[in-house]
Structure 1
């Protein structure tokens, strides 16, 4: 056998050793990456667990003071483990590179939040207590809120940047578990941003609304959910709240019967609104929330109050009995002059149904409502409400669009931009597609106490620049079988041409901006008229009307073609059972 020449043999050995060396280096690199990824995962998991414990009770910011440093230690370690030169070099490789980039981006975002965004709030939290927000002799000290403003604004900005970096990750190239992690972290960061941004906005706006820079007057309007309007219910009672240097006092009160009808409307309405709603929102105080835009409701209420009393209010605030029930969780039960004990458990049924069965005269009903308002206000002003529970109650009401605020001052109102407190029309943009479902009573009654409104939305096709989205809306009448025998003030007594016991509902379906109707039909146990409608501020509006008797239901099925976005949602009239309504099945099989 002839042996290989020494030169070739030597070359062969060099190639072999080179390949072995490269393989060893590659294995070492992947071992390095693997170990560091495993350690980083451990730190991120620890940070997530601690964050969830904090998130379980966000009503008191002092809870986070001990937890945030622990979270920051974990996120800093994860960021260091996923940002060394070896890791960065491997990020440039195909397939595995996007996985590593996603992990390092998540680690960096989490560390930015823990180490940069929350740290200033922790420093403030060491000296801040919610008990300082308790009013003393009817006066709030706004200084603690003002001390939080800068830290909260900085924190909101940093969290917003972190959330944007995670949302920018291209999940299409990621493994399924990592895709899920990116989605979950993105949602968590969005929620954190919303919470801190709310603190920042409150710290800026609340001192001003409490009269820190001069006296203010706000008209509080109470929406009655037993008689639906788009934003909640008819306005049946109003009261002025006066603030000055942190002190709060009740001013004049009025019921809907104290407002006269305005020939031609109290302020001009646009042609678009007139085509859909006629001029009723500008004629009657009961109808100011019929158009689902609280900025218009605020202007209408301000103008009506000025015409009736000569007083110009600085803003308008809307609440409903459900909000009052949440507040009563913080104040505890209150005893009314009638002897009734108003509590979080009975506020809705007592104020929206029992009072109408007890009193036939509207003036007596109004007196009952005024007494309830005064009793709850007195307990709030005396500092008997638990601050943490009260903040949680108002936050819940705001998220359910039951608490709405309009400031006449444009700068003050701009602070609320992007929040549910403004009661804006549904927004569709590059990140979200939103339908609007707004129910209105057409019976002139309090029968909506028994009505149930459910809705669902979903994509009917995946991906692409445009997709089909479906909206399903169901109305069900849960009134007792003998509803016709209820007091006439509840049934309407046939005053608007509707037989007692029948509930007429008009629903305005706001379709996403830029969408095209594919089909729209109604189904159910009753026959309804076809869709009417118009257009409002770039949104196609379908109007749907139905008459229901106890036990009957009707469903609207709408399918539209619209640009595909990551988020699809529906904005709905808040009813007394919004939080626990039965689910309705989404249907993409719409024809018609």
Structure 2
């Protein structure tokens, strides 16, 4: 083999290249060590910040301590941000594979620091002079000035939290290593929840002073929906009351029941032709049906008009709640003893108000008297200021998130403050982020048999043979009424007055499909005793509506499955009528992946 001499210049070049490679490897090793050490230190600060955040949550009972706790959180988040924001970390974030991991960590620490130092700070400053007792009525009066003082810092915090939530939401967990995916997803959910809460606080501090009469007296009609007789938004409007507010003072000025209202020959307010096609004129003729249309901005004005026709008073707005909401409020007030000797508590409210009262009192007048006494007793307790404010806020927030609490203001500016919130009770919306079905349940028996009904609903994405995404909705209804349900009091069974035999439960479900969805398949389920008659329906604000009716004997169940062609979105859910029980999961078709409700 012939050997060729190596020139001095080539030997020098080789040494240079080898040196550069060695230097590069050394830089990588040192950079990795630098990032690893700083990452570990940043993690320690994040853990400490999380512990301080827990202290902040506990300090809600004494908001004056919040500023000090926020300062501790800021120290840790600022340190974590500095450790993950240096040039070496930023350079490494541009590398393939490891880069997205480092960039995600840097984004999280940066946004957490922004939240701690700029988003929460305005509220923390106000908190130093804010007493939680300001949320308690004192001798029947709320401190509306204290609520108004919270508005500006609440709006500022809400805007900054929304920006932080949007920035964190842009991180794609599926591109991260397994150990990072779950923590990042948890932080995204946390930021989203906090942003929603801050937004709610900003809206509440804008609206509540006016609703409490800071700008002049107001009167609000409160509808108590009865979940034992379903309507789309929860239940029939049964007992009702008018709450008067003036300069922060609240009082119960009137009470009523469905027996105070006539059947109106003509609609009290006009309904659109598409609503008439689906619901006929009943929502505008019977006060019991004002919550039949799954849009409280339609039903509330109907209730307001009916009250004015019967009692002559002009109302500022309408509020709707149900006994489940009442059970949440009783967790804040503690048990309330009624004039009858019954104790209304978080555990007893639902069965007592939705079933036991009908078994105890046969005459509707006696039932109405019981409901009126219960309403007055609970109102007196709430207005006395003895309720735990933090628990009361939690109760209202929970009811709102579960769509058990609705609010409509006749003043358009006040109503606009609620735009986009569940409190308005609007139709479910489909957009680029979410695809939503609506499942709205209505009693057709003329009874209180829905106390025994059970609902299951599930949604899932399905893929056909061509790989196109389909959204599937599955709904199951089951009667858990006792076998001898026909022997129950007529007021519970309906006594056959509306054509449904005693003991049988008739349900009319309005299934709202996502806007623009194309039906691929729809299978209305029936039972051996009552085969299905197929679908009715129509269109409502660009949504196809399928009407599905069932008649169930005790122990029977029926299932409907609807599959539609619609673009895939990150979120798929079904908005279901709030009943007295949690919605169970219904079985999906093979090949369909279930998602959250």
Query: TM above 0.5, one fold?
Result: yes
2:66, 2:128 within 8 Å by CA — same for their partners in 1?
no
Deviation at 1:22, TM superposition (A): 2.1
Output one character per residue of 1:405-458: Cα deviation in whole Å (capped at 9) or x when no partner.
000111111111222111111111111111111100000001011111121112
Q: 2:543 aligns with which of 539, 542, 550?
A: 539
For the pair 1:235 / 2:270, whether they are aligned, the reply is: no
1:461-507 Cα shifts (integer Å, max 9, x gaps): 49x99621221111110111110000111100101100000000001
Over the aligned positions, Cα root-mean-square deviation in angstroms equals 2.2
Say whether the 8 Å CA contact 2:65–2:128 is kept in structure 1. no
Q: Residue in 2 aligned with 1:469? A: 471
C-alpha displacement at 1:55, in angstroms?
5.4
Shift of the 44–465 alpha-carbon distance from structure 1 to 2, 3 Å rule, reads farther
Q: Which residue of 1 aligns with 2:267?
A: 265
> What does residue 549 of structure 1 align with?
553
Measured against aligned partners, the alpha-carbon deviations of 1:91-118 in whole angstroms (never above 9, x if no partner) come to 3333332222222112211111111111
Q: CA deviation at 1:525?
A: 4.4
Q: SS state of the match for residue 239, structure 1?
A: strand
Moved more, 568-577 or 334-343: 334-343
For 2:293, the equivalent position in structure 1 comes to 291
Q: Does 1:567 align with 2:568?
A: no
Question: Residue 63 of structure 1: CA displacement?
Answer: 6.9
Distance 2:343 2:99 in 1: 65
1:78 is matched with 80
Deviation at 1:322, TM superposition (A): 1.3
The answer to whether 1:409 aligns with 2:411 is yes
Q: Aligned equivalents of 1:8 and 1:550: distance in 2?
A: 94
Name which of 50, 65, 68 aligns with 2:70: 68
Aligned-pair CA distance for 1:86: 2.1
Partners of 2:462 and 2:591 within 8 A in 1: no
Select the residue among 209, 212, 219 that pairs with 1:210: 212
Q: Does 1:7 align with 2:2?
A: no
C-alpha distance in 1 between matches for 2:222 and 2:64: 32
- C-alpha distance in 2 between matches for 1:440 and 1:202: 31
Contact 2:471 2:563 in 1 (8 A): yes
Equivalent residue for 2:444? 442
Sort the Cα spacing of 1:128 and 1:408 in 2 relative to 1 into closer, same or farther, 3 A: same
Q: Distance in 1 between matches of 2:547 and 2:55?
A: 45
Aligned-pair CA distance for 1:87: 2.0
* 2:460 match: secondary structure: strand
Q: 1:67 to 1:552 in 2, by over 3 A?
A: farther
* Structure 1: distance between partners of 2:4 and 2:552: 102
Contact 1:470 1:588 in 2 (8 A): no
How high is the TM-score relative to the length of structure 2?
Answer: 0.94
Structural mapping, 1:244-255, within 5 Å: 244-255=246-257
Shift of 1:50: 4.2
Tell me, yes or no, if the aligned pair for 2:115 and 2:164 is still in contact at 8 Å.
yes
Q: TM-score, normalised by structure 1?
A: 0.94
- Residue by residue, what CA displacement relative to the aligned partner does 1:173-195 show, whole Å, maximum 9, x if unpaired? 33233333332211110100111
- Worse-matched range after superposition: 218-227 or 323-332: 323-332
Contact 2:331/2:391, CA 8 A, preserved across alignment: yes
d(CA) in 1 for partners of 2:69 and 2:260?
54
| 1:142 counterpart residue number | 144
In structure 2, what is the Cα distance between the partners aligned to 1:95 and 1:339? 69
- Please, which of 528, 536, 545 is the counterpart of residue 532 of structure 2? 528
Matches within 5 A, 1:178-577: 178-461=180-463, 467-523=469-525, 525-526=527-528, 527-577=531-581
Q: Post-superposition shift, 1:530?
A: 1.3
Instruction: Give yes or no for contact 2:63–2:128 (8 Å, CA) kept in 1.
Output: no
Q: Structure 2 stretches of 5 or more lacking a match?
A: 593-597
Using the TM superposition, name which of 157-166 and 524-533 deviates more: 524-533
In structure 1, C-alpha distance between the alignment counterparts of 2:447 and 2:463, rounded to whole Å: 41
Give the direction of change, closer, same or farther, for the CA distance of 1:59–1:184 in structure 2 (3 Å limit): farther
> Using the alignment, how far apart are the partners of 1:262 and 1:47 within structure 2?
61
- Equivalent residue, structure 2, for 1:164: 166
The residue matched to 1:563 in structure 2 has which SS?
Answer: coil
- Secondary structure of 2:150's partner? helix
- Following the alignment from structure 2 to structure 1, what is the Cα–Cα distance between the partners of residues 427 and 167? 28
Instruction: Output the CA distance in 1 between the equivalents of 2:453 and 2:370.
Output: 24
* C-alpha spacing 1:514/1:43, structure 2 compared with 1 (3 Å): farther
Contact 1:356 1:365 in 2 (8 A): yes
Distance 1:430 1:422, change over 3 A: same
- The Cα shift of 1:64 comes to 4.6
What 5-or-longer segments of structure 1 have no aligned partner?
A: none
Native 8 Å contact 2:463 2:591 kept in 1: no
Q: 1:56 and 1:503 mapped to 2: Cα distance?
A: 47
Q: Distance in 1 between matches of 2:483 and 2:24?
A: 82
Cα distance change, pair 435–465 in 1 and its aligned pair in 2 (3 A): farther
Aligned residues: 587
Q: CA deviation at 1:304?
A: 0.9
Q: In 1, Cα distance between the equivalents of 2:575 and 2:493?
A: 28
Displacement after TM superposition at 1:459 (Å): 1.9
Pairwise mapping of residues 572-587 of structure 1 onto structure 2 (< 5 A)? 572-578=576-582, 581-587=583-589
Shift of 1:384: 2.0
Q: CA deviation at 1:28?
A: 2.1
- Whether contact under 8 Å (1:535, 1:541) holds in the other structure is yes
